[in-house]
Structure 1
Amino acid sequence: MTAQSTGLAERILDWLAKLSMGVASVLMVILIAIFGWLVFGRYVLNNTPTWVEQAALLIVVWIAFLGAAVGVRRGTHLSVEFFRDALPPRLRAGMVTFASLALLFFGVVMAWQGYVMFDRTVRRDIPLLGISEGWRAVPVSLSGVLIVLFCLDDLIRPVLLRQKD
């Protein structure tokens, strides 16, 4: 891989992270709007929209999983850096690699199991929404695929940078 193709890969992965965060942000706005409709319907119209709870659950799943993938890309995922940073440089580098490999494995499991969950629920509808239950599983798989891509970049980039030197 050349430095130019590495730069292209970085830009694509950054774009995917920005797109994911953009989708999650739009979904957050939609979530707030439908809860506004819930409050308005319940207290002003005295007619509670029953579909809001199911829609909110679906939207929260999408927001959470897209956000988790972006957290891996940005390095803001759950980690305990205090212990890692207290280690000598060689052990610290090994811990960083181990963490990336563990996240990579976790992403593969998420992608696969999300697909399995989709396959098992696609023919069932979400109550009150009338859309496939499989839509709850799509963000699990999508997030898993994104996590795998982001972790592969984290693992490959240092090797390529060393070769360039």
Structure 2
Amino acid sequence: MAQDTATLPAGADLPRGAIHRILDVIARLCLTVAGIQMVTLIVIFGWLVFGRYVLNDTPTWVEQAALLLVVWIVFLGGAVGVWRGSHLSVDFVREMMPRVPKEILRLVSILLMIFFGTVMAWQGWGLAQKTWPRMVPMLDISEAWRAIPMAVFGVLCVLFSLAHLADYFKRLAEGRD
């Protein structure tokens, strides 16, 4: 399976090593978990509609569960976006530039993603620690479960971006554009 990353020009592929295969598995696992959570979200909203309009007894826990699921879905999907290079970016200007500024901007982009992931991991973990004693209303679980996905995203963002950084330097060492 070819990887489309922000560090590689369109159509360029690096040999797939063991690390890339492991990161692919992690990304697929994130997508699988997010997909299961999405199906769960749809099912519980179906239950909400059924409960409200058929049973005339609205399940109050659905809103809190939905909020929790959406946070996990977004952050897991965002991590996969970093790995696949499909995260929010505007690179058409960079790609039209001459080689040297283009390479500098590619490197800066990767380094900024590493910085961003580090901040997200650090702040997400700090938020999880601060909110651990509080409970989510209606669900009776720790409020920290809403912050943990931010920390997980941060760690995965750094991990995936470090792999992109290694690919970047490997491509430069091989003299590929």
Q: TM-score, normalised by structure 2?
A: 0.87
Deviation track 1:117-163 (CA, whole Å, cap 9, x = no partner) reads 00000111000000000100110000000000000000112323555
Match of 1:74 in 2: 84
Percent identical across equivalent pairs? 53
Match of 2:169 in 1: 159
Deviation track 1:17-67 (CA, whole Å, cap 9, x = no partner) reads 110011000000000000000000000000000000000000000000011
1:155 corresponds to which letter in structure 2? Answer: L
Cα distance in structure 1, aligned partners of 2:71 and 2:169: 35
Match of 2:6 in 1: none
Q: TM-score, normalised by structure 1?
A: 0.93
Larger helix fraction of residues: 1
| Selected match of 2:46 from 31, 36, 49 | 36
Alignment map for 1:10-29 (pairs within 5 Å) = 10-29=20-39
Match of 1:7 in 2: 17
**Structure 2 runs not aligned, ≥5 long:** 1-13
Cα distance in structure 1, aligned partners of 2:36 and 2:120: 24
Aligned residues: 162
| Selected match of 2:74 from 64, 67, 92 | 64
Q: Kindly state the Cα deviation for residue 96 of structure 1 after the two structures are TM-superposed.
A: 1.1
| C-alpha contact 2:107 2:168 (8 A) present in aligned 1 | no
Point out 4+ residue stretches in structure 1 off by more than 2 angstroms. Answer: 158-165
